[in-house]
Amino acid sequence: MMFHKVGIVGLGLIGGSIAKALKARCGISTIVACNRRDDVLQAAYAEGVIDGYTTEINELFSQCDIIFICTPVDKIFEYAQKLLPYIDSNCILTDVGSTKSAIYERISSLGNAITYIGGHPMTGSERFRYSASKEHLFENAYYILTPGEYATSTQTENFAQLLRNIGAIPIIMPPKQHDYVVASISHVPHIVASALVNTVKELDTPEHYMHQLAAGGFKDITRIASSSPEMWESICIENQSEILTVLQSLENNIKKMKENIASLNKEELFSYFDTARQYRDSFVNVTPSSYVKRYEITVDVLDRPGSIAIITVLFSSHNINIKNMSIINNREQETGVLYFAFDNEDDRQTSIRLLRQMNYEVFVKD
Query: Which residues contact residue 81 at a Cβ distance below 8 angstroms, ignoring those fewer than 6 apart?
Result: 110
8 A C-beta contact, residue 137 and residue 95: no
Burial of 172 (0-12, 13-18, 19+ CB in 10 A): middle
| CATH code 3.30.70.260 for 295-365 | yes
Q: Is 160 helix (H, G, I), strand (E, B) or coil?
A: helix
Q: What value does the mean pLDDT of the chain take?
A: 88
Give the pLDDT confidence of 92-123 residue by residue, as tens digits.
999 999 899 999 999 999 888 889 999 999 88
Q: To which H or E segment does residue 43 belong?
A: helix 38-46
- Work out the percent of the chain whose per-residue pLDDT is above 70: 92
User: What's the pTM value of the predicted model, to 2 decimals?
Assistant: 0.72
Identify the burial level of 312 via C-beta atoms within 10 angstroms of its C-beta, where 0-12 means exposed, 13-18 middle and 19 or more buried: middle
pLDDT of residue 319: 94
Higher pLDDT, 292 or 170: 170
Neighbours of 220 (CB within 10 A): 9
The architecture CATH gives domain 5-173 = 3-Layer(aba) Sandwich (3.40)
What are the backbone dihedrals phi and psi of residue 341, each rounded to the nearest 5 degrees, phi first?
A: -130, 140
Q: What is the CATH number of domain 178-264?
A: 1.10.3660.10
The Cα–Cα gap between 101 and 111 comes to: 16
Sketch the domain layout of the chain as residue ranges: 5-173, 178-264, 295-365
